[in-house]
Each structure stands twice: as C-alpha cells, then as structure tokens.
Amino acid sequence: MTTQRLDNRWTTVLLALTMGMTLLSVLCYATIFIQPNVPFNPLSPSRATEVALRNPPPQATQIVIVATPDQSYPPTWTPTPTRTPGPTKTPTDTRTPTPTKTPALPRPPPHRHTATRVPPTLPPPPTATPTPFGYVVSSHSSENNCADVGLKGTVNGPDGLPKAGVQIQYGELGVSGSLFTVRTDGNGRYGALLLPGSNKVAATSSHNWFAYVVENGQRASEEFKFTTDPIYAVNPKHCKALDDEDEVDINDKDRKGCIPNPCSSADAIQIKIINWQLKLGDD
C-alpha cells in the first residue's frame, strides 16, 4: 500500500514539472513574438543590425557593358561590280622542227663467251654412325630335315664361354604379330620350332624369317634374316608313283615335271643354325 502511494506522488511531481516547463516555453515564445528585441532572444533584429554594421558586405564588381559596333553595311551602300575576264586567246600552233639525223652508234664488239666459274662442291655432311650392338653373328649354317622347320644355335661371351639366359627373339617377315622369344640354357644353347611338318599346307612353300638378340629389354644385335625351304615338294600325281619304283627303270622323260623331295637335298634349309657372340669389352 505504501509503494502505491509513493508511485502516485512521483507521478504527480513529474506531471507538474512537465506542465510547468510547457507553460514556461509558451510564455517565452509569446514574449519574443510580441517584443523581438528582448535580451534573451539570440536572434533579435537589433543584434543582427549591429553585426551587419561591423562586417560590411564586399562591394560587387561593376560589370561594364561595351556596345559592339554594327558590322552590317548601311542600307544605301552598293558594292562595286567585279570585272568579268574575257575569253582566253587560243595559242597559235607552233611549227614542229624537222628532226635531225642521229648519228649511228658504233657497233659493239662481238660477245665472247666467258666460262662461268663453278663454285667448288661442298662435301656431304658426315652421316651419323649408329651405335654398334654388343652381339654379332659369329657363324651360321643350315641343315636339311624332313620333319620340321626350326632355328637353333649358341650364344657365347667375349671369352668364348657360353652365356645362359640370353633372349633370342624371332618371327616370320611380313606376318603381323609374329614375334616369339627363346632363352639359352646353361650351355648357351637355344632352339625353336618355326614350322611343324604336320602343317603340310605351309610346309610346301618357302618362308622368310628374322632373329636378333635381346638383353635387358633392348635389342643387342643386328636383325639376321634367312629363308627356309619347303619340306614337301608339290608334284603331279604320277611323280608319287615313280618314287615307289626302282630308280634304274625310270628315265628322264618319265620324270618330266617332277622335282625331288626338298628335305632329302643336302642344300635344303629346314633347320637354320645361328651362333652369336658378345664382342670384347661389351660384357
């Protein structure tokens, strides 16, 4: 109950102060409106007049207007007419002088053919020598065989001793994907079957092959190319009957068109022998 009374008193005090301030402001503005020159008016006319007298405004620059003279002709002025030139006199044709005879120039001496000096021919640039391979073919030979077509040989070091584990890559020339690998054994020997005799279609013709040494995944020798002969001869039917008869009773006329069996010829190549050797200093 006491708190409520205190709140009412404070409210009454604040309300009285607000009304007093409002009434005082109204009286102040009313006095200034009626008597502007009261001492408490900061913007009284008398003060403004004193400030203006103390600080006179700067004099304005006088602008002189000069009249521009009239450039037009007086209305009674008449321009003098310009003389028109007469026609130009056409010049009289002048006489063309008679041409004088020009003396003939002396005849030049006959041209003598002078041989043109040919610059010396420069020697061709030296051809880069390819890096030699480590392995070379030490020897090669062949054998006849009536069973299969094959490849064999040996690989030796610079000291002549056999090298084991050396790779030989080979294949048939002109045949895509024909690339095979064989390794030497502990005695430096290798062997590969190129064409089985059971394939009679392929064994009745010659074939071209290649072989080279590979070491550390890189080619280590030149490519050696060779050709093998067929195993079987392609003869007419009567030739087969002649093979079963005695050689003495068969004459050359009966053998016309017949060729001997290639595998039985000493010059036939069914087995190719290639021996490789590592050069000195390349081991």
pLDDT digits (tens, 9 = 90+) for 205-235: 999 999 999 998 899 999 999 999 999 888 8
CA atoms of 192 and 150, how far apart (whole Å): 6
Residue 271 has pLDDT above 60, yes or no: yes
29: in domain: no
Which residues are within 8 A (CB) of 195 and not within 5 positions of it... i.e. 6 or more apart?
A: 148, 149, 150, 202, 203, 207, 228
Residue 58 has pLDDT above 50, yes or no: yes
Residue 268 has pLDDT above 60, yes or no: yes
What integer best gives the mean pLDDT of the chain?
A: 79
30: in domain: no
CA atoms of 118 and 125, how far apart (whole Å): 20
Higher pLDDT, 266 or 75: 266
207: in domain: yes
169: in domain: yes
Write out the residue range of the structural domain in which residue 237 sits. Answer: 139-278
The domain total for the chain is: 1
Higher pLDDT, 39 or 11: 11
CA atoms of 51 and 184, how far apart (whole Å): 126
Residue 64 has pLDDT above 70, yes or no: no
Residue 158 has pLDDT above 50, yes or no: yes
Q: Residues 168, 214: contact at Cβ < 8 Å?
A: yes
CA torsion sign, 28 to 30 to 33 to 38? negative
**Which pLDDT tens digit goes with each residue over 18-30?**
999 999 888 888 8
pLDDT score for 256: 65
47: in domain: no
pTM beyond 0.85: the answer is no
- CA angle at residue 224 from 223 to 229, to 5 degrees? 140
Confidence band for 90, pLDDT divided at 50, 70 and 90: low
Phi, psi of 24 (to 5 degrees): -65, -40
Highest mean pLDDT out of 75-89, 175-189, 247-261: 175-189
Residue 173 has pLDDT above 80, yes or no: yes
CATH code for position 155: 2.60.40.10
CA atoms of 170 and 203, how far apart (whole Å): 18
**Which pLDDT tens digit goes with each residue over 245-263?**
555 455 555 566 677 788 8
CA atoms of 170 and 149, how far apart (whole Å): 13
Residue 81 has pLDDT above 70, yes or no: no
Centroid of chain to Cα 145: 56
DSSP one-letter string for 39-82: TT-TT-HHHHHHHHHHSPPPPPPPPPPPPPPP-SPPTT--PPPP
| Token code pair at residue 162 | 């056999």
| Token code pair at residue 14 | 């604040």
| Token code pair at residue 149 | 């077509």
Q: Which amino acid is residue 204, in one-letter code?
A: T
87: in domain: no
Confidence band for 98, pLDDT divided at 50, 70 and 90: low
| Token code pair at residue 142 | 């062949």
61: in domain: no
Higher pLDDT, 178 or 249: 178
118: in domain: no
Centroid of chain to Cα 235: 60
pLDDT score for 116: 59
Question: Which neighbouring-strand residues pair with 183?
Answer: 167
